[in-house]
Structure formats: C-alpha cells, structure tokens
Amino acid sequence: MGFPGTWMTESESVVYRVVPKCACSTIGQIMYYSDHGTFFDGDIHDAKGGMHKWAMDDSQPLITANVKAHDSYSFTCVRNPYTRILSSFFDKICGIQRNGKRYRGNLVPLLIQKYGIEVGDPDTGFEFDQIKSFRRFLLFARDTIRWRRPMEPDIHWSAMSGHLSTFIVSGGRYDKIFWTEQFNEGMQQVLDKIETPNTVDLTAIPRFNESEGHGPKRLHPVEDYFDDISMHLMWEIYKKDFQLFQYDFDNPGNKMPIGEIDLAEVHAKLGE
C-alpha cells in the first residue's frame, strides 16, 4: 500500500499524513515555508516541487525509507466529524471548484437525480433548503462508505481513522495527532520538536483556506443540521473518529474535544 497522502519537507525535518478538510492547506504551506522561507504561490495541493509527496513517484522511495526508519517527527491533524462533513458538503457538493466547475463532474447531477439534493446556484445567491439537502447528502455519504455505491467514498468525507490507518498499517508511527480546533497550540508543539531551515512564527501565518468562498455560507448552527436519524448515520460512519479523537458525539453543537488522544490506542486500533 505504501504511504498515500503523506507529505515530507525536502529537508526531511518532518512528515505529515494529510487528512482532507483538516487544515491541510495551512499545514502544507507551513511545511513549505519552513524549508524555503516563502509560501508556495497557489494552492499547496498543486505544488509539484519544493516538497516530497507520495503522489510524486520520485518522492516515494524517500518517504518510505524515512517513515519505516522513523527518521523524522511524524504528525497529523484531525477535526470534529460534524463540522468536517458539513464543510465537505458546502465546499465540494454546493461549491464551484477552483477550475470553475462542479466537483467531480457528474457527481452533483447524480446527487440531484438519485437523492433529491439541491445545491443552489451561485448566480442567485445559493438559495436552497440547506438542512434538508445536507441530510440527504449524509445518506449518500453513508451509502458510499458502507456499500461503495453509487460510487467509491470520496477522500473528503471518508473517515479520518481510515486515512490515519494506512500510515500505521504500512509501518509508520505518529508522534503527534492534534485537533484543528486547537490548531496553533498543536502545530506549535510539532514545531517545538523539529529543526527547520527557516523559523516559523505561527502568529504571523495566514490561514490558507482554499475552499472558502467557493460555495454558500452555512446559515444555521451546526446542531440544526443533525436530527436523530442524521446522528445515527454519523455514528455508523464515524464511530471510530468520535472515539479515538475524543469528540463529543452526543452534542453536535460542541466542536471541541472532550478528552485527550491516546496515541497508543490509536496505533493499536488502527494498526489491526
């Protein structure tokens, strides 16, 4: 399997397992800056150089050797499953992507046809029933994850524990897993453990939210989108995410973690 979704600085100061919708653009830019003293001009996901990525063939042997020997500090970042799936819906399903088109071409027409989802139109201010459409999208997300139909699950809404597990199963070990909700604190703890060619001042780093502005704004509090059935679906899809990363399943309105992440438990449960 190797180490899909793994990025490493060219200086090999640090290794990061990307989890979509969990501040990955900002983290990637911090890694890039720590090596080069400048930010990548554009979306860091588009960078074809200046950083090692598993998706680039030349990087794979270097990442494999480093991770298997645990030569560098390795980390990842997670997010509350309720806000993560909402973010995926508004960005990927309702939003217009960087290329000016809908995400994954025929995906949105499929959702409109099979699940009765509305996504709104940017020309008319994205007016639609957000709560009803989101709940129908959640049913679709469950179908993709549980039964892989009508399509394979997408990386933006597949469980975080699944992303993290590939790194462990292939022989990697995390030194740190921190929460998006306490980003500066967690990222600073990573930076304190590594030596970088350029010093990073987190207070001066902008947030690189590449998905912002592509779609409609969320009109309601998080908890309004999740009724009993929606929460049942969330538990079915993201049970491990809630348990391992210490998020509050019972209260969708509480985005903050309610306990500490146990790294030993994460490696035991996701390394099976």
**Tell me: the pLDDT tens digits for 233-272?**
999 999 999 999 999 999 999 999 999 999 999 999 999 8
Instruction: Check: CB of residue 234 under 8 Å from CB of residue 88.
Output: no
Instruction: Check: CB of residue 76 under 8 Å from CB of residue 16.
Output: yes
For residues 160-186, give the mean pLDDT: 98
If DSSP codes are grouped into helix, strand and coil, which group holds residue 48? coil
Residue 105 has pLDDT above 90, yes or no: no
Residue 213 has pLDDT above 70, yes or no: no
| Paired strand residues for 102 | 96
| pLDDT (0 to 100) of residue 223 | 98
Residue 97 has pLDDT above 90, yes or no: no
Nearest to 136 by CA among 117, 150, 110: 117
Predicted structure pTM score: 0.95
User: Distance (Å, rounded) from C-alpha 254 to C-alpha 56?
Assistant: 38
